[in-house]
Amino acid sequence: MSSELIFENINKRKVIALIVGLGEWGLHYRTIEEHCRIAKDFGLSYLELGIGGDFPGRIQRDIGQGEIDELLSCISDYGIKAPFVVLESDFTLEDAEDVRRQKERAAHDIQLAARFGATHVRLFTGFELAANMTEQRWTRMIEAFAELNALCLEHGIVISIETHGRNTPVHNGFIHEHTTSTEWNCLNRLLRELPPEVGFNFDPGNLKAVDPSRPLADYAKLLGSRINYCHLKDWKRTGDYWVACAPGDDDLNYGELLPHIPFQGVYLIEYEQVGDVVEGIGRSLNYLRSICPELRTS
């Protein structure tokens, strides 16, 4: 059964229905069957899968049809739907041959995601700093998305670009810096130049950490109807770096933000800390219940 959260904005008297599912990151060291079991234990029916990265909880690129059938059967047996697949990509690299290889790998992964019945694939623009982007790099990046979007259209899949900065590890957290998918002017340009079918994975936590001075509602308004995917998490500042945490663990006020997000699809809880991931998912759901007057599981 799915968990559907109904949030009422008292001021606008506007009711927003949130279908909540389970994101993949944080679970990537556990098997996909464990992902399914955890989702079912929380009454969630939507799950995000991952491809690549050599983690136990991700689909391997050389997987055979027999293993695909077994995974699909496992997911189905738990009553789970998994139409969202996260892929790795970087189309902002300096070397054109490196970008070509990134496109080739992403195309392979998109076709593999299609074999799992994916409707959405998460991609990154890349992790070069926005300030370092040349016109040549920008052109290659846009061309990559145009080519991959054409492939996705053949399979009935849409691309969701995650709003994600460059994360540099520091102690138990990260320093966040602007990339093309977080910097305000770059986002405006992406909206103008990308194929119109290409959407965004709106991750308010990532945007808060990379630019805490800009209201998150501004980003939601900017991206608007191009938001076709959403991660729910937060980041807590520790000195000059940030530590990932659950919604409700820090000051990202989803109660105020949600009415500004014009997205009616599945919102995926993405609790990133692997050590207490089950507890973190539970805290996330408890917080979402606390800001919503009703929680439905059917």
SS (H, E, C) 57-126: CCECCCCCHHHHHHHHHHHHHCCCEEEEEECCCCCCCCCHHHHHHHHHHHHHHHHHHHHCCCCEEEECCC
**How crowded is the C-beta side of 245, counted as CA atoms within 13 Å?**
16
pLDDT for residue 5: 61
- ∠ CA 262-124-140, rounded to 5°: 115
pLDDT for residue 141: 98
pLDDT for residue 54: 86
pLDDT one-digit tens code per residue, 112-143: 999 999 999 999 999 999 999 999 999 999 99
CB 205 within 8 A of CB 174: no
Q: How far apart are CA 127 and CA 58, in angstroms?
A: 21
Residue/partner pairs of 190-197 with CB below 8 Å, 24 or more apart: 190/125, 190/161, 191/222, 191/223, 191/226, 193/142, 194/142, 194/145, 194/146, 194/149, 194/161, 195/145, 195/146, 195/149, 197/149, 197/152, 197/153, 197/158, 197/159
Find all residues with CB under 8 Å of 104, minimum gap 6, and list them: none
Q: How far apart are CA 125 and CA 138, in angstroms?
A: 10
Q: Which two tokens stand for residue 241?
A: 């770096």
Q: Which residue has the tokens 């980003």?
A: 219
List per-residue pLDDT tens for the chain, 298 residues long: 455 665 554 444 354 568 899 999 999 999 999 999 999 999 999 999 999 888 999 999 999 999 999 999 999 999 999 999 999 999 999 999 999 999 999 999 999 999 999 999 999 999 999 999 999 999 999 999 999 999 999 999 999 999 999 999 999 999 999 999 999 999 999 999 999 999 999 999 999 999 999 999 999 999 999 999 999 999 999 999 999 999 999 999 999 999 999 998 999 999 999 999 999 999 999 998 888 765 443 2
pTM (predicted TM-score): 0.95
pLDDT for residue 10: 41
User: Could you give the angle at which helices 65-77 and 32-41 cross, rounded to 10 degrees?
Assistant: 10
pLDDT for residue 292: 75
CB 245 within 8 A of CB 206: no
Order of strands across the sheet with 166-170?
Answer: 166-170, 173-177, 241-245, 234-238
* Domains of the chain (ranges, CATH numbers): 3-296 (3.20.20.150)
pLDDT for residue 82: 98
Residue 95 buriedness (CB in 10 A; 0-12 / 13-18 / 19+): exposed
pLDDT for residue 7: 55
Q: Which residue has the tokens 């194929």?
A: 195
